[in-house]
């Protein structure tokens, strides 16, 4: 995959993640996620840019993993990859929610959302993937 295609993939997937998580956790199920609103930092807090940087780094790793281990435009392979990434994020949420003294009522929603968003991201990555032609020079 060319550097340009890689950067495009990171940008598109980053936007897909933001939009889907905002719609699901911030709009559709917002009332459920307010259970732990006291733990959320204010957007005015100086650490907010680091949260976006963390998401950008996660997205970059997801795109790298896709290109190393899947490297296919097959949407079924992309969806399987995405479900695995979603399962990893869901497991992380499980350990965080149960490790902290917080309301765990959003947890089942988080698990389903991570699986859904992961599958969508995998599909998008498969659609963005462009196989290298033999003898082609990467730029």
pLDDT digits (tens, 9 = 90+) for 56-93: 999 999 999 999 999 999 999 999 999 999 999 999 99
Three-state DSSP state, 47: coil
Cβ count near 94 (within 10 Å):
15
pLDDT at 133: 62
Torsion sign (Cα): 110, 113, 118, 124: negative
**Residues 92-110: tens digit of each pLDDT:** 999 999 999 999 999 999 9
DSSP H or E run through 29: none
pLDDT at 70: 97
pTM over 0.85: yes
Q: Could you state, in order of their start, the residue ranges of all structural domains in the chain?
A: 3-37+49-128
pLDDT at 134: 53
């Amino acid at each position: 995959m060319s550097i340009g295609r890689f950067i495009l993939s990171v940008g598109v997937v980053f936007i897909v993640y933001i939009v889907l998580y905002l719609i699901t956790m911030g709009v559709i199920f917002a009332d459920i996620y307010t259970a732990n609103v006291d733990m959320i930092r204010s957007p005015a807090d100086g650490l907010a840019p680091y949260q976006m940087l963390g998401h950008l780094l996660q997205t970059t790793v997801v795109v790298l993993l896709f290109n190393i281990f899947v490297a296919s435009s097959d949407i079924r392979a992309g969806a399987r990859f995405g479900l695995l990434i979603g399962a990893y994020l869901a497991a992380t949420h499980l350990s965080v929610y149960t490790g902290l003294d917080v309301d765990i009522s959003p947890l089942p929603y988080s698990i389903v959302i991570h699986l859904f968003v992961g599958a969508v991201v995998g599909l998008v990555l498969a659609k963005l993937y462009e196989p290298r032609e033999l003898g082609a020079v990467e730029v």
